[in-house]
Amino acid sequence: MDIPEVIEISLARPDEYPAVAEFRWEEEVKGDAVPSVTQEAFTKDFAEWALRNADTHRCILVRRNGIIIGMAWLAVVARVPSPGNMSRAGGDLQAVFMSEQARGGGYGRRLMTAVVDEARRLHLKKITVQATTTSKEFYLRTGFVDAPKILQYKVKANL
């Protein structure tokens, strides 16, 4: 008898931050990568960071049968007020990961829908994302558009 698949997409709870850190570790430290910290230290520090930054960084998770298979962080950035709008803010999509075995199953699209829903709930006017060459097509398929007015300056360390 097959067990039905249960998919849940929602904001991470604070008690889930260690599991979120472990998921990020697994997705980011692959192959021959040699991290500068242990997984245990990263998990502890990451969970503490997530608690400290919960007001500005919202972690949205995709769980399959209770196991994290995807995540996205929506960083809420306050913007300078304008006349008539004292609470301007924008969103920056960060640290988006989907486990390899979950890719192609529609979970990424559902995750982006949840991100946009959270942005609407927070009255954000736009969401930006720094897409990689491989992720750009995914973001375009889920409603993001190229923004030709966005420029960036890469700050170099003092020499």
Nearest to 112 by CA among 135, 132, 139: 139
Residue-level pLDDT at 30 = 78
Contact assessment for residue 122 and residue 91, using Cβ atoms and an 8 Å cutoff: yes
- Token reading at 29: 């430290």
Residue-level pLDDT at 3 = 78
For the chain, which ranges sit under pLDDT 50?
none
Q: Where are the domains of the chain?
A: 7-141
> Does the domain at residues 7-141 carry the CATH identifier 3.40.50.300?
no
Contact assessment for residue 90 and residue 79, using Cβ atoms and an 8 Å cutoff: yes
Contact assessment for residue 62 and residue 69, using Cβ atoms and an 8 Å cutoff: yes
* Distance (Å, whole) CA 43 – CA 25: 8
Residue-level pLDDT at 155 = 92
pLDDT tens digits for range 10-49: 999 999 999 999 999 999 887 677 789 999 999 999 999 9
* Residue 68: alpha-carbon gap to chain centroid: 13
Residue-level pLDDT at 72 = 99
Residue-level pLDDT at 1 = 65
* Distance (Å, whole) CA 144 – CA 127: 8
Residue-level pLDDT at 32 = 72
- Token reading at 37: 């910290």
What is the model's pTM? 0.91
